[in-house]
Homo-oligomer: A and B are copies of this chain.
Amino acid sequence: MPDTARRAEEPAGARYGNRPTMKDVAARAGVGLKTVSRVVNGEPGVTPETERRVQEAIEALGFRRNDSARVLRKGRTSSIGLVLEDLADPFYGPLSRAVEEVARAHGTLLFNGSSAEDPEREQELALALCARRVDGLVVIPAGDDHRYLEPEIKAGVATVFVDRPPGRIEADVVLSDNYGGARSGVAHLIAHGHRRIGFIGDMPRIHTAAERLRGYRAAMEDAGIPVAESWMSLGATDPERVRRAAEEMLSGPHPVTAIFTGNNRVTVTVIRVLAEHPRRVALVGFDDLELADLLKPGVTVVAQDAAALGRTAAERLFRRLDGSPPAPERIELPTRLITRGSGELPPAD
């Protein structure tokens, strides 16, 4: 049996017990514990010859410094937590990666977890990360009351919210211009002759969904178009719910001639519904999609810069950690209308 296989099969009880310690290194190198500590921590006062002996012992024993012990001594863990809504949502991929890149540049590791849009799970995860003594938190909130984080923020956990603002506490937040982006997307449909425009969005308690609906309403009001209740549908973004909502708006004697979709999950389903629909219906979606330009017609979108959201939030967090914490601020990033065909279709009737 190969050596490694035997090792891997050692009973679980052996865990950690057989890690070589500084004492083992000191014994093998024939030096004192303090000397090993000096070498490991790069402190002066060791001759090159002694350092070589200690390094050889470290190598031979496979000794590794235990950062958890350092953490307790130094107070900083060089780790931060990122609380996402859903690790599998493609919108959060570039955001996570941007946070990771900034963390890496600061020699910091990243904890990652998702709330699955459940406020209790968000709180459980955020507090578990605080109990692990992360230096900071980047949070995409699922809930609307973050007073549970006050003792942590008071104790020094740098906290930045992103994508959605915190509830009932003051803290940094980095947002896209959800209101302005939706308003410009809907105005674009109006400019192409549409008046009966539907809006399908996420659950109304989610900040981004509410803001985008507000942008829709503002654009309609700007154009003097009264909005029918049946044109607006907010709820979960599962395909069944979204499909039903779209089909309802598209049926009856006065169907909508265009739809504005409130996020990437909604857009994907509405594209499918429209592909099967007999009439031509215009579409503008919030969030870009990877193959949106290759569909026929290409999908016109209001794009957010997910990487910029993550980068800005992480930089803000490290600015807070690096010395002079600024007063809590709300930072809003612009969105961009990308025209590709679906949003420029005229009304079918």
Residues of A within 8 A of B (CB): 2, 4-5, 7-12, 14-19, 62, 64-69, 71-72, 75-77, 79, 82, 86-90, 92-94, 96-97, 100, 104, 109-114, 125, 127-133, 150-156, 169-171, 268, 271-272, 275, 289-292, 294-296, 320-328
Contacts and interface: CB of A to CB of B under 8 A. Distances in A.
A113 B80 CA distance: 12
B100 A114 contact: yes
A156 B14 contact: yes
Contacts of A17: 75, 156
A87 to B, nearest CB: 4
Contacts of A10: 154, 156, 325
A170 B132 CA distance: 32
* Complex copy number for this chain: 2
A263 B152 CA distance: 44
B96 A5 contact: no
B96 A112 contact: yes
A131 B79 CA distance: 12
A167 to B, nearest CB: 12
A170 B64 contact: no
A41 to B, nearest CB: 13
B291 A18 contact: no
Given A109-B111, A111-B112, A153 B294 contact: no
B327 A156 contact: no
Contacts of A152: 64
A62 B4 contact: no
B112 A110 contact: yes
A100 B322 CA distance: 30
A96 B87 contact: yes
A98 to B, nearest CB: 8
Given A10-B156, A100-B113, A291-B294, 16 more contacts: A4-B150, A8-B153, A8-B325, A9-B326, A11-B324, A12-B320, A16-B133, A16-B155, A16-B156, A19-B156, A62-B154, A66-B133, A100-B112, A109-B125, A109-B129, A290-B290
A68 B170 contact: no
A93 B10 CA distance: 33
Nearest to A61: B151
A119 B319 CA distance: 30
Contacts of A275: 294
A162 to B, nearest CB: 15
A101 to B, nearest CB: 9
16 contacts: A7-B150, A7-B154, A8-B171, A8-B328, A19-B155, A62-B150, A62-B151, A67-B133, A68-B77, A79-B132, A87-B93, A88-B97, A92-B93, A100-B113, A104-B113, A291-B291
A7 B153 contact: yes
